Structure formats: C-alpha cells, structure tokens
Amino acid sequence: MELLLLALFCLHILKTEAVVGHWCYRSQKCEQPQCEDPLRWHLINKECKGDKQSPVNIVTRNVVHDKRLKPLTFEGYDVKGSAKWKVENNGHTVKVTLDASPKVAGGGLGRKYKAIEFHLHWGVPVEPQSIPGSEHSIDGEKYPMELHIVHIRDDVPDVTEAKKTTDGIAVLAFFVKADNENKNYATLLSELENIKYKGQESKVDPLPLSSLLPPEEDLGRYYRYEGSLTSPDCYEGVTWTIFEKPVELSLSQLSQFTVLHFDGNNSTRMMENFRPVQPLNERKVLWSGASIALPTAKLLLLPLALTCTLSSLSP
C-alpha cells in the first residue's frame, strides 16, 4: 500500500511539475493547481506588475475628451486576401493569424500599424450560469466577450522587434454583445469543432476583416489609453483603442465557444479566459467624443439661415 501511495504521489509531482512556471487563468486552477493565475503572473514576468497594465475599467465620468482623436483610417480592411487564415487553439484562446496585413492609421496613433492576428476573450457564454468575459469594462459593466485585433508597427517585421520599442503594438478592441445572429462569423465558428484541444489548428477561407466589425461609420467613437498586453509577458507599449459600438453575436453563436478546451481531451473547458482589470494609476483614458457634427446642431442652424434668407427677400 505504501508503495502504491508513493507511486501515486510521484505521478502527481510529475504532473504538477509540468505546469510549474506556466501561466494560466483562474478557471484552470482546479486542474492545474501549480500554475500561476493572473494574481501571480508577475512571478513569471515581472512586467505584469508594472504601472501601465491592461485591461482597465473605463469610468466614463473621468475620461478626457480629446478633439485630436478623429476617426481612424482603415487600409485593406475591406479586402479579402488570397491566402487562408490559420485558426488555432493555443491553449489560451482562439487565435486567427492573418496572412495579408490590413493597416490602421490616424486617430491620434502617430504612426501606421499592420494587423497580424486577432483573438477573443470570454466568460461563461451559456445560461443559466452565464458570466460576462470581456477584459475591459465600462463603469464596471462587462460584455459577454471581447475581440482584440493585434497590430504591430508598420516598420518592423514581427512582434519580437515590435516589443523592442515603446510604441510597438496597437490593439483595436471590440466588445461583443448577445443580440442578433451574425452570419459573417459562421465560417469561423464552424471551425471551432476542429480545434477543440490545445495545439489543434485549421485553415479557413479569408474574409475582409471589416466584415467581422461594426460598420466603419460607427467606429468614430472610441476610448484610447496606453497599456499592456493582457497576458504574459504583459509587454507595456500597447496603444489601446476600445470602440463604443459592439459586435453582435447571437446567444447560440456565443455558446459555440464551449466546445473548446484549455488542453487535451477531458481537460477543463476554455471559459473565463480573461484577465481582471488592473489599476489605472496615473494614466488618463481619452475619448474621441462625437466624430461628426451632431444632427441637432445642424438643425439649430437651419432656422437662422432661413430667417436671414427671408429677411434679404423682404422689400
């Protein structure tokens, strides 16, 4: 009996040692008690305890309206590339690697950035225990999911080089809310069955990246702040743009993410893969405000113009 207990203990040690020094989400702790959850990520990468960490809670009464934050310029977002997208389960999320490089500029970014991949974060997307899983929050309120499109500086070849600069990465973030079915996501969601487990990947026909987002005319209102990546190595040098207008997916579409697992067969299902909000510290969150003249303002000017016109016609 003692030999059996010793053998079981050794097997347990071997299993736990395999995950020591690995970061994980809180939802993985039951299966991997030795992995480092978000509160201890700094033990793996000390930058995870920096002063400019992400995500943050955006308190709308404290944001600073910045008139320089004009609508962004999207280049190649409406183009369907020729090469297939790689969709993979990397053990933390669903990651889609882009072959073509749509670009974004303007909107106070200061330089042009090229898109290299997008991924998502979510909570528990099924009833009755539904838990919102967006990383950022607005006045403490979270959405079911959050989409991140990761861009690097246009003048560097890869993420490694981008991280050697103080403004190497720009992320466009979109909240995802439960609403109407979004047929533009059908191809991507249908592939989730083929990447259930860590390390699995698939290829899908590319789409114009803009087809996965709200209409461009709705993207003039956004928040901006300087932060970090939301997973280790927690690199600080990320310009965040968080759009007010969310992406819409139906409850049925959101529930399709429940087929995913953090690891292999019988491992924990991939849920609650988000980092808790981090202290804002001395940073300011900027807000673009209304990007165009408000219709009411135009209407107020109309009576005045008519009055002047009629006056000039009077004898």
Distance CA 51, CA 47 (A): 9
- 92 among known catalytic residues: yes
Q: Which of 92, 121, 148, 151 is flagged as catalytic?
A: 92
| Domain boundaries of the chain, sorted by first residue | 46-294
d(CA 198, CA 270): 10
- So what's the pLDDT on residue 3? 40
Alpha helices in the chain (DSSP H): 2-17, 159-162, 186-190, 251-255, 295-313
DSSP SS3 for 53 = coil
Note whether 234 and 47 are within 8 A (CB). yes
CA–CA distance, 15 with 9 (Å, rounded to integer) = 10
Two tokens, residue 260: 């995913």
More confident residue, 5 or 26: 26
| Across 98-109, average pLDDT | 92
Please work out, in degrees rounded to the nearest 5, the angle formed at the alpha carbon of residue 20 by the alpha carbons of 15 and 25: 100
Q: What is the pLDDT of residue 11?
A: 43
**pLDDT, averaged across the chain:** 88
Mean pLDDT of 299-313: 38
Residues near 164 by Cβ (< 8 Å), separated by ≥ 6?
none
> Phi and psi (nearest 5°) for 27?
-65, -10
* pLDDT one-digit tens code per residue, 223-235: 999 999 999 999 9
Q: How confident is the model at residue 190 (pLDDT cuts 50, 70, 90)?
A: very high
147-178: per-residue pLDDT in tens? 999 999 999 999 999 999 999 999 999 999 99
**Contact of 245 with 172, CB cutoff 8 Å:** no
Task: Report the C-alpha gap between 178 and 197 in whole angstroms.
Answer: 25
Give pLDDT, residue 197. Answer: 98
Average pLDDT over residues 285-310: 50
User: What integer pLDDT is reported at residue 313 of this predicted model?
Assistant: 40
Residue type, 157: P
Q: List pLDDT tens digits, range 234-287.
A: 999 999 999 999 999 999 999 999 999 999 988 999 999 999 999 999 999 999
Place of tokens 């409406």: 78
Note whether 119 and 232 are within 8 A (CB): no
pLDDT reading at 298 higher than 50: no
CA atoms within 13 A on the CB side of 55: 28
What is the dihedral angle through the alpha carbons of 234, 239, 243, 244, rounded to the nearest 10 degrees? Answer: 80
φ, ψ (nearest 5 deg) of residue 39: -70, -15
pLDDT surpasses 50 at 295 = no
Check pLDDT > 70 for residue 112.
Answer: yes
Alpha carbon distance 141, 54 (integer Å): 16
Residue 289: count other Cβ atoms within 10 Å of its Cβ: 13
Q: Residue 274 has what pLDDT?
A: 98
Looking at domain 46-294, its CATH superfamily turns out to be Alpha carbonic anhydrase (3.10.200.10)
Q: Supply angle C-alpha 140, 141, 143, rounded to 5.
A: 140
pLDDT in tens, 194-219: 999 999 999 999 999 999 999 999 99
Q: If phi over 0 gives left and psi between -120 and 50 gives alpha, with beta otherwise, what is residue 192?
A: alpha
